Amino acid sequence: MKPYLPGSLFLVALATPTVAAAPPFETPAPVAYMLDLSSGAELYAKDADRRMPPASMAKMMTVYVAFDMIKKGELKEGQTFQVRPETWQKWHGPAAGSTMFLSPNEQVSVENLLNGIVVLSGNDASVVLAEGIAGTEQAFAERMNQAARRLGMSGSRFCNSNGWPDEGCTQVTARDLAKLAAATISDHPQLYKKYYSRTEFTWGKTLGGGDPITQANRDPLLGRVQGADGLKTGHTEEAGYGFTGSAEQNGRRLVMVISGLDSFNQRIAESVRFMEWGFRAWQAKPLFKQGARVETADVQLGDEDQVGLIAPRNLAVTLPGGAASNVQVKVVYNGPLKAPIRKGQHVADLVVSTPDTPPQTMPLVAESDVGKAGFFGRIWAALTSFFA
């Protein structure tokens, strides 16, 4: 947006006691990224735009597509899909990686398949869901790519539903995975809560038709970091050990991505250390509560001359420990705004700067509807503009 700033530059004083700043984070992971969803601030980036194989972290997009369809009424959680014998043949046994232990010709509900993907990281479950939705895994991958484009995941491409190695066709970036995690949490909060924080799931039977098989969620943060509730691990020989995770503490939510680690245990240790650093080394300070009017903007050719610019959610600035407490806040928009304007429409941005951090940008939305002016109103606006 272009700046239009009459009277919109001001300082906010935060009563913040100065504390010793935490040391910079260092990790052996080749790729690492952290985002504060509460403020939109990027807290850490190490090779965050490198294209890399996602391994099972690709399944987050499979789940996101399914969540979108459920939200739109195009897919029901109670709906069932049949396990094709050809799919079972390809995706069972030790060589097929993580499995839900599906059986050939079995009818499985979407809900159970989603649990099999999220909790168990089942390669078989991902393909059965993809084929059930789109007919073929290739057709489903196109849906994944459409969603990626819609979310602005410009560095990513999906060629299968489960992240299985495919000669480099499926590629993502850490920044894109964070966008996907953020969209999953914000677009589908109830479904996210239902599926991603589950610690175990039972499906299938042991050899010979014995007891059902209970498998644990491999999420390294669950039960180790306060407020952790998702998302997805990944591992192949090519990709190493990776994880996209999220946790919320005191109303502040962080998303982290880490990839290329050497072992299962190193992934646990680095994921926990990274997330704890994010909460410890940075502080979120409130700026405006949800619904608060931050500024007003002039409106051109509208039935109102101005519209309020309000916070669509609680807005906060993320500061490192020991940062200066003076915060410069600037409202930026293409102005004057042109009618019609819808209530809740994103029409401006709040740009927050401190001496210690890069600018942080947050959306502002219209407080009310503004319709187009009538004929005489437009004539009057033209005359006043001409003689101004």
The active-site residue out of 8, 39, 98, 121 is: 121
Task: Give yes or no: 126 in active site.
Answer: no
Segment (H or E) for 261: strand 252-261
How far from 4 is each of 1, 46, 329, 334, CA to CA, in Å? 9, 34, 14, 6
Distance between CA 133 and CA 149 in Å, rounded? 20
- DSSP code for 258: E
- Burial profile 36-69: b = 16 or more Cβ within 10 angstroms, e = fewer: bbbbbbbbbbbbbebebbbbbbbbbbbbbbbbbe
Helix, coil or strand: residue 368? coil
**Other C-beta atoms within 10 Å of 251: how many?**
11
- Distance, in Å, from the CA atom of 340 to the CA atom of 300, rounded to the nearest integer, reads 9
Taking the C-alpha atoms of residue 60 and residue 112, their distance in angstroms, rounded to an integer, is 16
How many C-beta atoms surround the C-beta of residue 299 within 10 A? 23
Distance CA 312, CA 362 (A): 9
Does the annotation mark 372 as catalytic? no
Residue appearing with tokens 């690709």: 58
Nearest to 40 by CA among 230, 317, 277: 317
Angle at 294 between CA 278 and CA 374, to 5 degrees: 135
Output the DSSP codes for 131-148: HHHHSSHHHHHHHHHHHH
Provide the token pair at 65: 């597509």
- Give the integer Cα–Cα distance in Å for 82 and 271: 37
Check 59, 126, 161, 179 and give the catalytic one: 59
d(CA 349, CA 3): 9
Catalytic residue among 39, 56, 156, 161: 56
Active site residue 353: no
Catalytic residues: 56, 59, 121
